[in-house]
A = this chain, B = another copy of it.
Amino acid sequence: MVSQLDADSALTTLEPGLYAAQITDRWNIGAAPNGGYLAMIAARAMADMLPHPDPVSSTTHYLSVALPGPAQVHVEILRSGRAHSSAIARLVQERDGKTREVLRTMATFADLSQMRGPTDLRLAPPELPPLEACFQGRSAGTFAAIAAQLDMWSAPGTVSWMEGGERNDEPSLRGYVRLRDGREPDALSLIFFADAFPPPAFNLRAVELGWLPTLELTVHVRARPAPGLLRASFETRALVEGYLEEDGQLWDAEGKLVAMSRQLARAGR
């Protein structure tokens, strides 16, 4: 059985370097498909063209809002070396008779199973209470179809805008996440998971609840994840005149760092 995420990011090869995709509304937040879901589609097309399987660094710039429906992905190979290969993908949609570019992703791939070298890790997995002490769900109040696809548990006090009281002005979020249909995480899906949680900036009273459009999302996949729940932490340390970064870490069920992410987004106007 194909998982929902894989079915909804499946590609049909039209010609070498050109793929048809079908963006569904199952990963929507409000009316717009989630940015991590879209970036994963682009990465999947690149993975199909490149000799290395793992997107160790991918950056997506969001150029216009996507709509559920047909899309095409164009892939250009930039380099194909022994240890690394790089590509650019363009995701476009036809709209009102015009071709509209939704996003562009640039990425470098490697084979993470072949990594060899020194290790020195100064980070630790996020401290999380047991599942039953966490706040479950994604978005209480906001319509988000994506919530039906995910099991998500957030540490108390880290999603204060959903917890019923005042927002607590602590712009960090920690939690567990998995796909509800049991599909285990892999390197490619970490790009999706890096953008799956709601913004920790929603804990800030100065930030309006609503849509914080992402201008750019970069994900470093650092290891292939083991099966099981991912542990995630996200924080926004620099909201400056409406621009904010959001830094994320994803850890697998065995306590391994599997991804680091950073995005630049826009609040207010």
Residue of A63, A104, A171, A216 contacting most chain B CB atoms (<10 Å): A216
User: In the bound complex, do residue B243 and residue A122 qualify as a contact, i.e. CB atoms below 8 Å apart?
Assistant: no
- Indicate which residue in B61, B171, B239 contacts A78 across the interface (CB closer than 8 Å): B61
| Contact count band on A | 35 or more
Give Cα distance in the complex from A223 to B241, angstroms: 10
Given contacts A117-B242, A242-B115, A260-B238, contact A122 B171 (CB under 8 A): yes
Residue A121 at the chain B interface, CB threshold 8 Å: yes
Give Cα distance in the complex from A74 to B236, angstroms: 35
Question: A221-260 toward B: CB 8 Å interface, digit per residue (1/0)?
Answer: 0110000000000011111111101000000000001001
Give Cα distance in the complex from A63 to B79, angstroms: 7
Identical subunits present = 2
User: In the bound complex, do residue A241 and residue B115 qualify as a contact, i.e. CB atoms below 8 Å apart?
Assistant: yes
Point out the residues of chain B lying under 8 angstroms from A122, CB to CB. Answer: 171, 235-238
Residue A93 at the chain B interface, CB threshold 8 Å: no
Give Cα distance in the complex from A115 to B107, angstroms: 29
Given contacts A78-B63, A218-B218, A238-B123, contact A88 B117 (CB under 8 A): no
User: In the bound complex, do residue A222 and residue B204 qualify as a contact, i.e. CB atoms below 8 Å apart?
Assistant: no
Find the B residue at minimum CB distance from A172: B122
User: In the bound complex, do residue B106 and residue A59 qualify as a contact, i.e. CB atoms below 8 Å apart?
Assistant: yes
Residue of A64, A220, A235, A239 contacting most chain B CB atoms (<10 Å): A220
